[in-house]
C-alpha cells in the first residue's frame, strides 16, 4: 500500500493525519507573530527571508548532526527541485498578494490548494472524485469562506494572481514532496527545499530594498517565534505526506486558517463573528468526513 492510498485504519495513516494537524497548527501561529513583527517595524519580505534562513540553518544542523546521506537519486532531482519551487511560490505569492488585496481574500484563494491537489491526483489516476469526497472539499472551502470573510471591494487582479500562484505552489510542494519522501529523509528534503528557496527570496528582498529590521526588541522575538513555528510546520509536513499522502494532508491543512483566527482572537484581541464560528465548524466537519471517506478509499 502506498502513501496515496493509505486508509485511516492503518496506524501510520492516523499518525500522518495527527502530524499534519500539528503542522497546520504550528503554521497557524505565524500570522499572529508576523503581525507583531510588522507592528515593530519590519516588512513581510524581511520576515519571509529570515524565517527561510532559519529553516535552512536548522535543517543543515540536523543533517550534520545525524550525518544524513545527502545523495539524491537522479530520478528524484526533479521532485526535490519542485518542492523548493513550491515553497518559493508560497512565500513570494502569499506574502506579496496582501499588498494588493485584503488578507481574507488572499487566504481564501490560497487555501484552494487542497482542491488543486485533489484535481491533480484525480487526473493522474484518470478518474473523477466521488460525490462524497468532492462534497467534503466543497464544504471545507465554504467553511473557509465563512470563517475568513471577504471584501470584494478591494479586489485587484495582481493580488488574485499572486495568491493563486501561492496556491499552485502549495499543491506542487505537496505532490512533489510526497514522491520525494518515499526515498529521501525528512532532514534532507527540508534542507534541499530551503537551498532552492532562500536564494530566490534573498534576491527578491534585496533587489526591492525590502529588508527592514524591527525597531523594537519584541519584533525580534516575534521573528524568532515565527521562524520556530515555520520550522516545525514545514518539517512536519514531509512526514505527514509520507504517512498519509498528499490529498489527506492537504485536507487536514484546512484547519490552519481556522486556528489562525482563534490564535489572533486570543493573542491580538481580534474577535470572531457568528458567521466565522459557523465556517469553522464546517471546516472541522469537512475534515472529519474526508478522513472517514479515506477508509473506503472513496475517490
DSSP string of the chain, one letter each residue: --GGG--TTSHHHHHHHHHHHHHHHHHHTHHHHHHHHHHTT--HHHHHHHHHHHHHHHHHHHHHHHT------GGGHHHHHHHHHHHHHHHHHHHHHTTTS-HHHHHHHHTTHHHHHHHHHHHHHT-PPPHHHHHHHHHHHHHHHHHH---GGG--HHHHHHHHHHHHHHHHHHHHHHHHTTTS-HHHHHHHHHHHHHHHHHHHHHHTT-----SSHHHHHHHHHHHHHHHHHHHHHHHHHHHH-HHHHHHHTTHHHHHHHHHHHHHT-----HHHHHHHHHHHHHHHHHHHHHTTT--
232-271, pLDDT tens digit by residue? 887 787 788 778 776 677 677 767 777 777 777 777 776 6
Percent of the chain with pLDDT over 90: 2
**Would you state the pLDDT for residue 104?**
64
- pLDDT greater at residue 175 or residue 105: 175
User: pLDDT category, 221, cuts 50, 70, 90?
Assistant: very high
Q: What is the mean pLDDT of residues 122-127?
A: 72
Per-residue model confidence as pLDDT tens digits over 38-60: 888 888 888 888 888 888 888 88
Amino acid at each position: 500500500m502506498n502513501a496515496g492510498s493509505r486508509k485511516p485504519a492503518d496506524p501510520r495513516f492516523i499518525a500522518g493525519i495527527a502530524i499534519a494537524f500539528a503542522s497546520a497548527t504550528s503554521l497557524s501561529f505565524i500570522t499572529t507573530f508576523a503581525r507583531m513583527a510588522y507592528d515593530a517595524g519590519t516588512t513581510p519580505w524581511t520576515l519571509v527571508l529570515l524565517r527561510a534562513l532559519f529553516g535552512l540553518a536548522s535543517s543543515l544542523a540536523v543533517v550534520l548532526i545525524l550525518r544524513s546521506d545527502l545523495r539524491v537519486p537522479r530520478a528524484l532531482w526533479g521532485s526535490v527541485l519542485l518542492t523548493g519551487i513550491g515553497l518559493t511560490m508560497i512565500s513570494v505569492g502569499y506574502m506579496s498578494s496582501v499588498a494588493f488585496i485584503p488578507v481574507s481574500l488572499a487566504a481564501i484563494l490560497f487555501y484552494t490548494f487542497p482542491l488543486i491537489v485533489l484535481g491533480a491526483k484525480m487526473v493522474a489516476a484518470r478518474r473523477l472524485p466521488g460525490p462524497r469526497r468532492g462534497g467534503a472539499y466543497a464544504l471545507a472551502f465554504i467553511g473557509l469562506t465563512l470563517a475568513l470573510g471577504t471584501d470584494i471591494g478591494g479586489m485587484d487582479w495582481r493580488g488574485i494572481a499572486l495568491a493563486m500562484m501561492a496556491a499552485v505552489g502549495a499543491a506542487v510542494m505537496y505532490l512533489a514532496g510526497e514522491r520525494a519522501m518515499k526515498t529521501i529523509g525528512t532532514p534532507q528534503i527540508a534542507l534541499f527545499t530551503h537551498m532552492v528557496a532562500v536564494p530566490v527570496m534573498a534576491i527578491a528582498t534585496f533587489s526591492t530594498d525590502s529588508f527592514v529590521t524591527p525597531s523594537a526588541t519584541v519584533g525580534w522575538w516575534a521573528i524568532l517565534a515565527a521562524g520556530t513555528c515555520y520550522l516545525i510546520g514545514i518539517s512536519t509536513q514531509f512526514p505527514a505526506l509520507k504517512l498519509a499522502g498528499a490529498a489527506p494532508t492537504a485536507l487536514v491543512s484546512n484547519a490552519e486558517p481556522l486556528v489562525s483566527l482563534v490564535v489572533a482572537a486570543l493573542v491580538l484581541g481580534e474577535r470572531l463573528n457568528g458567521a466565522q464560528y459557523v465556517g469553522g465548524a464546517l471546516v472541522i466537519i469537512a475534515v472529519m468526513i474526508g478522513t472517514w471517506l479515506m477508509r473506503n478509499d472513496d475517490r
